């Protein structure tokens, strides 16, 4: 413990004696934060001596006048134009009109978030296949799984026994594949979003389009497979008749509730993951924003920022699991509500 304290004190002394070279004016906080959490047509890896190292991604757009175009985003680097397209002020691909104005085309480009989803999907498939491969080679009734297969089995049993089974009810096995897939998919995307190096760093679950699709799957599972009692409670609930006719007040409220449930799933996951990334990036930005406030102050706040940043990273790991757990639990509850039966049966 004493050696660790000596190392920390030595590191702090080194920071205090190191002259500050970075200027606060060199950092645009908005561009720094939103550049990390936003989508892009390239995957930025690092910057070496002012040179940006990035992976260009395919740009696929359809112009109303010239049809489909497909090219590498490297052609649009540094604000250049290619085949009549360039970046607009929001960093989106736009078509240059004859009068010089920019118009957004139909954009089906393979962006950073799309590549991140593909990579995370491959990781999920490899995780499942690796666990299944262990069970093909071993007798699960006689030998307990070890390593990664053991961790996956523990999580699967916890989610199925503690969440899916009690929330969904008797036919929980029918929905377990979707709910377990949703849990692991969200968890992997959350964890990869925290990892700062390629292939991590894509803010997929902090993108509302991704959480919208996840919530839509739950919405379809609830309403396509809901039984007659579920629809009766929506269209003709057990309330006084004057609340249903002539003005269908309660049925209208129930129908609105059908859409607010997936909406809450979408916004909850999106907002929590996005806020976590913004807070972590904001803490790191303190080091650069205080560069011109004096070496001692900058170094002291730098050490505090690093310590707090590590704490935020650990907290983000917990939040990543909690958000996947909450999404799965609420989806299970909503599905269970659509499969309920009258108490007298």
Answer yes or no: is pLDDT of 294 > 90.
Answer: no
Q: Which DSSP letter does residue 106 get?
A: E
- Look up the pTM and report it: 0.81
Find out whether 221 and 175 touch, Cβ atoms under 8 Å.
yes
- Mean per-residue pLDDT of the chain: 81
pLDDT tens for 3-42 read 544 444 444 444 333 444 444 445 566 666 666 777 888 8
In the chain, helix, strand, coil percent, each to 5?
A: 65, 10, 25
Neighbouring-strand partners of residue 62: 68, 106
Q: Which DSSP letter does residue 290 get?
A: T
What pLDDT score does 117 carry?
92
Cis bond before residue 84 (omega within 30° of 0): no
What pLDDT score does 160 carry?
93
pLDDT tens for 133-168 read 888 888 767 787 888 888 888 999 999 999 999 999
What pLDDT score does 264 carry?
93
Nearest alpha carbon to residue 167 among 128, 222, 87: 222
Nearest alpha carbon to residue 202 among 22, 44, 64, 11: 44
Nearest alpha carbon to residue 173 among 327, 326, 321, 339: 339
């Amino acid at each position: 413990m004493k050696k660790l304290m000596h190392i920390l004190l030595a590191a702090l002394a080194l920071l205090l004696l190191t002259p500050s070279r970075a200027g606060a004016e060199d950092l645009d906080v908005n561009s720094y934060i939103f550049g990390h959490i936003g989508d892009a047509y390239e995957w930025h890896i690092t910057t070496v001596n002012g040179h940006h190292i990035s992976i260009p991604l395919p740009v696929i757009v359809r112009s109303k006048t010239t049809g489909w175009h497909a090219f590498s985003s490297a052609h649009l680097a540094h604000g250049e134009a290619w085949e009549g397209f360039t970046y607009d002020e929001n960093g989106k691909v736009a078509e240059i009109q004859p009068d010089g104005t920019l118009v957004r085309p139909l954009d089906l480009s393979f962006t950073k978030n799309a590549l991140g989803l593909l990579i995370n999907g491959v990781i999920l498939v490899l995780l499942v296949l690796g666990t299944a491969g262990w069970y093909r080679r071993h007798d699960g009734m006689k030998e307990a799984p070890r390593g990664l297969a053991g961790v996956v089995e523990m999580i699967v049993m916890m989610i199925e026994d503690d969440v899916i089974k009690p929330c969904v009810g008797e036919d929980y096995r029918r929905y377990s594949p979707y709910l377990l897939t949703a849990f692991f998919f969200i968890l992997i995307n959350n964890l990869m979003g925290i990892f700062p190096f390629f292939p991590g760093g894509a803010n997929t679950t902090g993108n509302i389009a991704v959480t919208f699709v996840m919530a839509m799957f739950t919405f379809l599972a609830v309403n396509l497979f809901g039984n007659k009692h579920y629809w009766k409670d929506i269209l003709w609930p057990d309330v006084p008749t004057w609340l249903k006719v002539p003005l269908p007040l309660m049925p209208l409220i129930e129908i609105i509730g059908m859409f607010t449930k997936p909406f809450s799933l979408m916004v909850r996951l999106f907002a929590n993951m996005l806020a976590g990334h913004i807070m972590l990036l904001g803490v790191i930005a303190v080091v650069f924003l205080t560069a011109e406030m004096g070496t001692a102050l900058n170094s002291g706040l730098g050490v505090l920022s690093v310590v707090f940043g590590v704490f935020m990273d650990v907290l983000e790991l917990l939040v990543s699991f909690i958000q996947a757990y909450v999404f799965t639990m609420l989806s299970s509850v909503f599905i269970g509500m659509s499969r309920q039966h009258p108490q007298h049966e």
